[in-house]
Amino acid sequence: MFVYNHFRSFVLLFCIGFLSYQSFSADVSSEKPSALSNQNHITNNRLVQDIALEAFEKALQEGSRGVLHISPTGTGKTHVLAKALKSRVIKWELEHRTSISSSPSESTRKAAKISIVTAHQIHLVDQLAQGIYQEVKETSAHLINWNNVKQLSGHTSFASYVRKALKSPHPTVFVITTQSLKLALDYLFQEYISRNSKTSLASPSSSLYEHLAKNLDGIYIDEAHHLGASKTKRSLLTLWEASRAFLYGATATPFHYKEDITELFKKIHWSYLNKADNLFEKHSIEEILDQLSLAIKNRDISPFNDLYVIGESSFKEIKDQPVFIQSRSDHFVLNPVHYERLAQILYPVVLANQKGFIVTATIAEVERLKEFLSKTFRKIQFEVYHSGMSRDERKRVLTNSKESTGFHYIVAVRALDEGVNLPHLSAYIDLNLVHGDLS
C-alpha cells in the first residue's frame, strides 16, 4: 500500500490515471492569455471565466470550428459553458427579431436554433441543466433535460423532440448523457442512410438528421476527456462534420488514458498557471499540481489528509489470482478473492480517519464492496454513490456526508469531483488499477 500525505502526490496519481504519455498534435494551437501568468490572478475564478468566454468569442470570430477549455477543478468551467451557450441564444434572438442577415464583412457566423449539451453521467447532466437554466431562463430558449423527459423509449422519442424543436419559433437546448445521445444519433443517421438509398439522386429527400445538422448551432461537452474512451465520439463527430456547428469542450485535463482528445478541437484555451507548452511539449503536469495546490490554499476545494492507494504488491500472498480482473463493462476491478486481504489493509485506515471516499471502477463493484465492508466493519457506516442512483438518493448521501458527524465512508465510482467538494474528508482510498509509472 502506498500512503501519500502530500496533495501533490495525490493529484499526480490522479492525472497519471488519465494520461498516457503520447506525442501531441502539432496542429493544436494553444491560447495562453498573458493575464493568467500571475499567480494572484490565476486564483481569481471570475477572471478565469471572463477570459475563457473571450476566447470562445474570438474562436467564433476567427471562423474556428471548435475550442477546448482546459481549466482546473473548481474554476467554473460549467459556468463558462452555460455563459457561452447563452451568448449564442441571445445572438439567435437578435438576428431573428431584427431580421438582420449576415453581411459579407461580418466575421461571426449567424446562430442556429438547436444546441446540444452532453456529459457522460446523469448527475453531471442534471448539474449542467440547472446551471444552463439559470443563464437562459430570461431568454426565449426551451431547455430540455433529457433525464426529465417521461418518454424515455429511446431514440424515436428523441427524434420527436427534434421535430418539435425544428418547428418551434424559439431556440432549443438539449441536455443529454453521451450514451443517450449516441442512441439518438445512430437512429437518426440510419434513417438518413436508408432514406438516401431509396431516393433517386435526381430528387433527394431531406431527412430529420439533415435538418438537425442544418439547424445545429453548437455541441457542448462537459468533462470532454471522456471522449477518449467514448463510443459516442464517432456518432457525435459525424453529426458535427455534417453541420456548421461549433464544438466546445471543457475539462481539467485533456487526456484520457486511452486517447489524446486535443486533435478534435484544434484550438485550445489554457487556464492553468504555467505555459501549456510544459504539458504538450515537455509532457509535464507540474502546472496542474501547482494550480490545484493554490485552489486548496484558497479553500476552493477540500484537501485530504491522506491518500491510500491499494497497490498490486499488497495482494501477492494469493498466488495465481490476479489482483484486477476485467469486468463486463471493460473496466478493471479488484478481484473479490482479495477482499479479505483488503479488509486487513483498510482496518487501521478506517480507524484513523473519520470520513473518506473509497473509489472503484464500476457501479457493480461499488455495490458489492459496500455490502462486504458493511459486514466486515459493523460499527462503521458505508454509503454508495454512483450515477445509477436517483437524483434524490445522490443528494441525500452528499447532504448527510456534509452535515452528519457520524457519517463515515462513501463508496463511489471514480469520485474525484464529488470528493474534493465535500468538507471534512480525511482519507481518499483508491482501489482502481493505476496506469503509468509513479517513480
Q: What is the DSSP code string of 303-333?
A: --SEEEE--GGGGTTSTT--SEEE-TTS-EE
pLDDT at 36 over 60: no
As a CATH number, domain 306-430 is 3.40.50.300
pLDDT at 419 over 80: no
Region of poorest pLDDT, from 34-38, 101-105, 335-339, 377-381: 34-38
- The pTM of the full predicted model, rounded to 2 decimals, is 0.63
Residue 426's pLDDT is what?
65
What is the Cα 219 distance to its own chain's centre? 14
Q: Is 15-297's fold the same as 306-430's?
A: yes
Q: What is the mean pLDDT of residues 276-302?
A: 51
As a CATH number, domain 15-297 is 3.40.50.300
Q: What nine digits make up the cell of 74?
A: 473548481
pLDDT at 86 over 50: yes
Residue 210's pLDDT is what?
92
pLDDT at 433 over 90: no
pLDDT at 27 over 50: no
Residues in the chain: 439
pLDDT at 116 over 70: yes
Q: What's the rounded Cα separation, in Å, for the pair 166 and 89?
A: 15
Average per-residue pLDDT in the chain? 73
Q: Where are the extended beta strands (E) located within 168-275?
A: 172-177, 216-222, 246-251, 267-270
Q: Does residue 174 or residue 260 have the better pLDDT? A: 174
What is the band of 250 on the pLDDT scale with cuts at 50, 70, 90?
Answer: very high
Pair 416, 295: CB distance under 8 Å: no
Region of poorest pLDDT, from 29-33, 78-82, 132-136, 167-171: 29-33
Q: What is the mean pLDDT of residues 223-233?
A: 79
Residue 14's pLDDT is what?
42
Provide the residue ranges of all domains of the chain, joining segments of one domain with +. Answer: 15-297, 306-430
Q: How many other C-beta atoms are found inside a 10 Å radius of the C-beta of residue 32?
A: 15
Q: How far is CA 137 from CA 90, 91, 125, 134, in A?
A: 12, 15, 17, 6
CA-based nearest residue to 386, from 406, 365, 407: 365
pLDDT at 335 over 50: yes
